[in-house]
A and B are shown apart, each in its own frame.
Chain A
Amino acid sequence: MSGWLRGHPWHADGLLAAALLAFSLPQVAAGAPPGAWIGAAVMQANFAVVTVVLAGTVIARRRYPVAAFAVAALIGAAQIAFGVQPGVPGPFFPLQPTNADVAILVLLYTLAAYRPRPVSIAGLMLCLVGSAVAIGRWSPAHHAYAGGAVLVAAAGMGGVTVAAWVLGDSVAHRYRRAYYEVVEARAAQMEAERDAQARIAAAAERARELQEKRARAVDHSAARLRQIERDLHDGAQVRLAALAMVLGEVRENLEHADDGADGDGHLRKLMGAAHRNAVETLAELRDLARGIHPPALDRGLAPALGSLADTVSIPVEVTVRAGERPSAAIETIAYFCAAELLANITKHSGATRAAICISDGDGRMLMRVTDNGGGGARLAPGGGLEGLRERVQTVDGHLGIDSPAGGPTAITISLPGHA
């Protein structure tokens, strides 16, 4: 019920106004007070108009608390000014207090509940002053117990007036507190949202930073490996080749020398061993350097993969359909993946044919390695494919396997253009 009333203020106030009218009706019917100059009909019309106006202020109270109160207060003041006093000839146009004056209390309550305290205190003061004046005006000065009656009347009216204000004020206090709580909760929520957004932004910034650092680290290590290979090429490999050449020359000279120089062939054997060692070391060093950074990559992925394909025992078709060249680090990863996959194919698949196709897709490089072997390739912990997947994942790459039993097999590797 109270919920319905709160939900429909106009209905609630309408009911209140109707009750007020009903409460005042007997007075309207009662007619003119004694001592009035005018007729009962005029008096009843006065009552009716005042009662209806007061009821109206009650209906409007929530929307216009101050205006409604002002109208009601003006009516109260008029009643004091033009009311008919007992035993005294009434004014020309009498305006008697009515039961509907309860509306003034309702409006004071409304003022206290819906308007700031200074406004409602002013209203309260006005009501108290009005009450005092009214009591003074209607107390028969000649009455023997006038003093006691006045006190009772003052206490009654004052008490009711103050009670209306206090009631309204306490409701306002409750409303204010509830309002502040809502505002505070909203502020706290907004602060929390702002904090969350700041944290998200910080995390995104951090992620970008880490990505940049990773790209730098990947590029740096690729450049470093390339440099190591070059240093080997320009240093140890060249020196060793020059050494092997000299050893080869000495060896040939010894072979052609007459036996007097090397009676039992001891020197020749030693020289042969030294020469062989140098040549084998040269080959090992070359394999090592090539494993660090395949120099063919310096000319691009296409020729490097082509030369790689020529080392495999089955025909491998190499197609490179790519626009912009990816970074050196990405090309290196792609090359080593292709080498590993081709090795797997020749070792395990039983394929008689394979293909490497490189294409561009959405700023990424796609490498598809296919064979017509027996299929059944899958990720296994510690396996070659798992190792490749981990390797491409370090630069946000992906590895997909399509290898049904019976074949054919397609391994798809997607790599970003840059680490």
Chain B
Amino acid sequence: MPPRLRLVIAEDAAIMRDGLTQTLTRRGLDVVAAAGDAESLHRAVTAHDPDVAIIDVRMPPTFTDEGLRAALSVRRDHPGVGVLVFSQYIETRSAAELFAGASGGVGYLLKDRVAYVSDFIDAIAQVAGGGTVLDPEVVRHLLSAGRRADALAVLSPREREVLSLLAEGRSNIAIAGAFTISPRVVEKHVASIFAKLGLAPSDNDNRRVLAAIKYLES
């Protein structure tokens, strides 16, 4: 059994903070601290050095993007801590800002995802393992926007579909399940995507992250 993931939660709404803490604890995760604002988040991260900090975008005092700023500074000051930002609304620009220059351990999810507890916990585990997680909603937005087509024109339609799931943080097996194709075919697609996007062969996970970021920034 892997060691329990240690989490810090930053969420200003008490009902959500407590609900998350209880649910995640029941599911075997270790919530070491729950903060209500950016400052106590920093203190908690410094004190506990968690695997992942789960951060709400909107926090006091102005309720605009304090959470995003806090996430960026946690990422800067504590590179080993995964950062999972969740937001009531999808703002592609916020997501892009969060992912810019990141090499992994970053996630951006719509708040609604907490309703799918297992998926949410999977996402936390992905971020904790240095992966990237991008909300399917963001992916859908970006896919529908025409400029993706320009930047990722080198990819075949199926490769683009695979890339969008890859950006969400899905594994090869999960992607194979989603398209009802064999994992071997997925592997071929993934390898082709890496080659076409010019990602040098290195550790496989890192290339997945880079592909996702490229996808987001394209």
Contacts and interface: CB of A to CB of B under 8 A. Distances in A.
Q: Which of B27, B94, B111 has the most CB of A within 10 A?
A: B111
Contacts, number: 103
A313 B144 contact: yes
Interface in A275-293: 275, 278-279, 282-283, 286, 289-290
B93 A241 contact: no
B159 to A, nearest CB: 20
Contact of B93 (A282, A286, A303, A312): A303
A313 B145 contact: yes
A282 B112 contact: yes
B203 interface: no
Given A234-B13, A244-B112, A246-B23, A295 B58 contact: yes
B146 A315 contact: yes
B117 interface: yes
A303 B88 CA distance: 16
Interface string A374-410: 0000000000000000000000000000000000000
A303 B92 CA distance: 9
B100 interface: no
Contacts of B16: 238, 241-242
Contacts of B20: 245
Interface string A289-320: 11000011011000100110111111110000
Contacts of B117: 245, 248-249, 252
Interface string B133-173: 00000000110111100100000000000000000000000
B65 interface: yes
B64 A299 contact: yes
B23 A313 contact: no
Looking at chain A's contact residues, the main secondary structure is helix
Contact of A298 (B23, B62, B111, B145): B62
B99 to A, nearest CB: 14
Interface residues of B, number: 35
Interface string B93-114: 1100000000000000001101
A312 B145 contact: yes
Contacts of B91: 296, 303, 307
Contacts of A282: 112, 115
B146 A246 contact: no
Interface string B43-75: 000000000000000100011110000000000
Interface string A111-126: 0000000000000000
A352 interface: yes
B4 interface: no
B63 to A, nearest CB: 6
B23 A245 contact: yes
Interface string A209-242: 0000000000000000000001001100111011
B57 to A, nearest CB: 9
B108 to A, nearest CB: 12
A247 interface: yes
B62 A310 contact: no
A22 to B, nearest CB: 107
Contacts of A313: 144-146
Interface centre among B115, B117, B146 (most CB of A within 10 A): B115
A239 B94 contact: no
Contacts of B114: 241, 244-245, 248
A290 B150 CA distance: 29
A311 B145 contact: yes
A316 B150 CA distance: 12
Contacts of A315: 145-147, 150
B200 interface: no
A343 B162 CA distance: 29
A278 B163 CA distance: 30
Q: Residue among B12, B19, B93 with the most chain A CB within 10 A?
A: B93
A283 B141 contact: no
B15 interface: yes
Contacts of B179: none
Contact of B19 (A242, A286, A299, A307): A242
Contact of B13 (A238, A249, A286, A306): A238
Nearest to A305: B93
Contacts of A298: 62-65
B35 to A, nearest CB: 16
4 tightest Cβ-Cβ pairs between the two chains A and B? A244-B115, A310-B92, A298-B64, A242-B19
15 contacts: A230-B63, A241-B16, A242-B15, A242-B19, A245-B115, A252-B118, A295-B64, A296-B94, A298-B63, A307-B93, A309-B145, A310-B142, A312-B144, A312-B146, A315-B150
Interface of A: 230, 233-234, 237-239, 241-242, 244-249, 252, 275, 278-279, 282-283, 286, 289-290, 295-296, 298-299, 303, 306-307, 309-316, 352-353
